[in-house]
Structure 1
C-alpha cells in the first residue's frame, strides 16, 4: 500500500521473538482529514475483528458536516497501558505530532494512563453513554432504584451550572442513603471528565460519547461479514 498509495503510513510492532504484536495504519485521506478535523477524537476498542480476537482500534473524528471521519486504525494484541502508549505515539508520528485537543473514551484505566503519558495536554472525556448504561446494574437491588435513576439523569441533562450540580448531587446522596456508595464516590471524584456542565466551556464537536466509534465498528462488521452468516 505504501508503494502504490502516496501518503500511506503504517507501523508494525514486533515482540522479542519477531512475532506480530500490534499494527497501525492510515491512508493519506485519514492524514489529511486529521489536519482539519483531528481536534476532537473518539477512541474505542470494543470491536474484535478477526479470528485472533485482536481488538480493532479506530480513531474517529467529526467533519464540518457532522459526519464521522476516519483518522487511523489499529489492531492490538493487548489492551494494557504499554500497548496504548505505543499506539498513541505511533498515531502522533503519523499525524506530524498534532495531538488532539480533546479525546473521548470509556473508563478504561489503561487508556487513561496512556493518554496522560502521550497526550499530556489533551482534555480527556469519559463516554457519558457508558456511564449511564451502568446505572441500572449498580442499583439493581436498591429500594429507591427508580428515583435514583431519574435523579441521576436529571443531574446530567438538566443541571446547567457546576454549583447547582454539587448541591443536587449532595442532596441525592443524602435522600437515597448513598453517602458510602463507592462507585458513585469514584464518579464524583472524576466529575470533570463526564458531567456536561463541567465540560461545556471546551469544544467537543457536539460529542459526549464514543458512539461514533461504535457506529464505525457496526459499519465495518456489515461490510466484512458475509451476509449469509
Structure 2
C-alpha cells in the first residue's frame, strides 16, 4: 500500500507551510528606518514586511508591481504604492466608469536579488502624487488581518446560526469603534464563505475515504492524500492512479496545471496535472480538489504531487498568470521553466482591449504578432509597430505582458 493519510504524513506534507510561516515572522532589521538605497535583507518576505510596516506608518498601501529574472541570473522586483500605474476602465457604460484610486503614483522601492540570495534595495522614490490619509490606513488591503481568535469566533457563531452582520457589530462594540479593528465586515463575510466550502455534508468525507481505500485495494499503485486542518476538517484532496504515475515516467518533461475548473456544490476548484504523450494526446498526471487558491495551498499540492512522482520534478510547467501559483512553483520547482498559458492570455484580449476604438484591427495585429512571429527580432519589430501604430504606449496590460515576455 503506497499511501494512506496519517498524522505523520500531514506533518511531512506541511513542512512547506511552516517555512512560509517562519518567513512571515522574520525579524525586521530596519524597522524604524526610512527606505534607502543599499539596505539589505535576508528574504523577499522580510523586505516586503518592512516596506508594508513603513507604508502603514506613512498611511499608504503597497503592492508588488513588477518581477523579472535577468539574463545575468539576478532577480528584480518592485514594491510600490497601491496607487501606482494608470487605471484603464473596463466598464461597458461610458457614463459610469469603474471607480479607481490609481493615480500613477511613483513612490516605490526597487529590489535586486543577487545569485547568493542577498537582497538589496537598488532604487527608492518617496514622493507621492496624492494625499496620505492616516484615518484610512486600516482599509488598505495589505493592512487587513483576521487574527486566529477572530476566525475561531466567526466560525463558532456561524455554526450557532448568528449571521455575520450581528457578529461583526458585536466586535465593533467590544473594540470601541471601527477604527480599532484591522478588518471590515466584508473580510468576515469572505472568510465565512471560504469556511463553509470546507464543511462537507454528512458522510461526504467518509465516502471519499472509502472510495480511495477501495481504489487502493484494487491497485496498490493508487496514491492519495487527504489534507485536514487542526480540527480534522478536510481541506484538500489529491489522488493519482497507476496509469497517471506510469505516464509521468515517459511524458513528464513538460506539464500543464490549471485551476479554472469549478466542480460540485462546494465550489471547490478541480486542479488537474496534464501532460502530452507521443501521439499528441493529453494524459492525466494526477488531480486535486482544493479549498483555496493561495500560495500555501499550491505549495502543499505541488509538494504532495512531487512525492507521488518519486521526487522527479518536471523540466517545465505551464500555468495561467496566477501570482500565488507562481510563488509556489518558485519554491517547490525552483529549476523548472515556468511559462504562462497563451490561451489564458489571449482569452483576456476582449476584456482588456475591447473598449479601444480600433479594437478589431488591434486584435488582428496582436494575433499576428503572437502566433506568426518567426524569431525574436521578428516579434520585437511587429510588437513595436503595433504599439506605435495604435498609440498603445500607456496601455498597462500590454506593458506588463511585454515586461514578462520571458514567460
| Residues 1:128 and 2:345 aligned together | no
- In the alignment, structure 1 segments of 5+ residues that lack a partner are 194-229
Distance in 1, matches of 2:344 and 2:239, equals 27
Corresponding residue of 1:184: 398
The structure 2 residue matched to 1:18, chosen from 207, 232, 256, is 232
Corresponding residue of 1:166: 380
TM-score (norm 2): 0.46
Distance in 1, matches of 2:345 and 2:260, equals 15
Corresponding residue of 1:216: none
Higher gyration radius (CA): 2
Corresponding residue of 1:5: 219
Structure ranking higher on relative contact order (CA contacts 8 Å, 6+ apart): 1
Give 1:86 shift.
0.4
Q: Deviations over 1:69-107 (max 9, x none)?
A: 111111100011110000000000000111111111111
Q: Deviations over 1:140-179 (max 9, x none)?
A: 2212212211111110122111122122212211111111
Corresponding residue of 2:84: none
Moved over 6 A (4+): none
Distance in 2, matches of 1:136 and 1:75, equals 30
Distance in 2, matches of 1:129 and 1:66, equals 17
| Residues 1:67 and 2:281 aligned together | yes
Alignment of 1:84-123 (within 5 A): 84-123=298-337
Helix, strand or coil for the counterpart of 2:217?
Answer: coil
Distance in 2, matches of 1:59 and 1:136, equals 28
The structure 2 residue matched to 1:43, chosen from 257, 269, 273, is 257
The CA RMSD measured in Å over matched residues stands at 1.2
Corresponding residue of 2:112: none
Distance in 2, matches of 1:180 and 1:4, equals 59
Corresponding residue of 2:267: 53
Aligned pair count reads 193
| Residues 1:144 and 2:361 aligned together | no
Helix, strand or coil for the counterpart of 2:313?
Answer: coil
- In the alignment, structure 2 segments of 5+ residues that lack a partner are 1-214
Give 1:34 shift.
0.6
